[in-house]
Amino acid sequence: MTAVELESTSAPATALPERLPAPTGLSPSRISAFRDCGLAFRYSSIDKLPEPPSAPAALGTLVHHALELLFTRPAGQRSLDAALADLDVAIELASGTPDGEVLGLGGDGHDETREQAADLVARYFALEDPDEIRAIGLELRLEADIGGARIRGVIDRLDLAPDGTLVVTDYKTGRSPSQFSEQQRMLGVTVYSAMVEQVFGVRPSRIQLLYLKDPVAISTEPNDRQVRGLDIKVGALWQAIERACERADFRPKQSRLCDWCSFQAYCPAFDGDPAAAWAISAANPDAKRPE
């Protein structure tokens, strides 16, 4: 479904209020979303416009689920065959859901999706031996206060390393990023590190991003400078969001991401009307807003 197909386009125009409700918190992905484009952030996190499921994101969810299931098996039983069996369970559970539909599970896209997901799962084994990992948390939901904002996030995996320290692992199913966006993504995982430190009272010794497609691992060792920098960056960003809400002023920021943006129909950069987006939100006041 494209932006023009969203049912919201037919809603009557409603004037934008003088101020918009601020979100009650943020997730690492919402932090990136605001940095990428303030207006798209507003449509997604404040107006809560419907967004069509994306096939790459759905494929990523499938692979994450297969790897999560793999780590519920005891060490010594985490072979590639076991991981592929877990992938089949994940595929079965996704069938009939919106993600399953966008991937064509049970239909035309089933075999191709299974092949792509199996390839990513197999590539994971080039990065580490899962039998050597002591995972103490899977899909771990954490909350912490960073830079004055309530941050909520889900950590793919938290490991206890042989030396007794904690390691945060995040799986990525896209290609590894350029150096610039690598720093952007590292901001996200540094948030995870800060959350672990606040919740468990111990700073992780390492944070690693496992890019399955390449496959390549990027890791960093969090330090005091990073933690201080994170507090300042998230604090500044949170203040910018609050200011934008107070003034109901979220600006579009055009980039390559516009090609995949679901909100073009409401974006002034594409001759869209932002007030039409607010009309959808006003007509659906109980919609749960992402954070």
Of the residues 192, 238, 263, 278, which one makes contact with ligand SF4 according to CB under 6 A = 263
- Answer for the pair 53, 102: CB distance below 8 angstroms, yes or no: yes
Of the residues 4, 75, 257, 287, which one makes contact with ligand SF4 according to CB under 6 A = 257
Q: CB 95 → ligand SF4: shortest distance, Å?
A: 31
Of the residues 258, 273, 275, 284, which one makes contact with ligand SF4 according to CB under 6 A = 258
Parallel, antiparallel or unpaired: strands 206-211 and 166-172: parallel
Of the residues 24, 29, 223, 254, which one makes contact with ligand SF4 according to CB under 6 A = 254
Structure tokens at 146: 């960073």
- Distance between CA atoms of residues 106 and 94, nearest Å: 10
Residue span binding ligand SF4 (CB under 6 A) among the ranges 10-18, 209-217, 233-241, 256-264: 256-264
> Facing residues of 145 across strands?
150
Question: Reduced to 3 states, what is the DSSP secondary structure of residue 206?
Answer: strand
Prior bond to 215 cis, omega within 30? yes
Output DSSP code: residue 131: G
Of the residues 253, 273, 284, 291, which one makes contact with ligand SF4 according to CB under 6 A = 253
Count of residues that bind ligand SF4 according to CB under 6 A: 14
> Facing residues of 161 across strands?
none
Q: Enumerate the H helices of the chain as residue ranges.
A: 28-36, 38-41, 55-70, 80-94, 98-103, 110-124, 179-200, 224-247, 274-283
**Is the CA virtual torsion 138, 143, 145, 147 positive or negative?**
positive
Of the residues 197, 264, 273, 291, which one makes contact with ligand SF4 according to CB under 6 A = 264
Residue span binding ligand SF4 (CB under 6 A) among the ranges 36-44, 89-97, 158-166, 196-204: 36-44
Of the residues 11, 267, 276, 280, which one makes contact with ligand SF4 according to CB under 6 A = 267
Residue 37 near ligand SF4 by CB under 6 A: yes
Residue 270 near ligand SF4 by CB under 6 A: yes
Residue span binding ligand SF4 (CB under 6 A) among the ranges 8-16, 230-238, 246-254, 282-290: 246-254
Prior bond to 23 cis, omega within 30? no
Interacting residues toward ligand SF4 by CB under 6 A: 37, 39-40, 252-254, 257-258, 261, 263-264, 267, 269-270
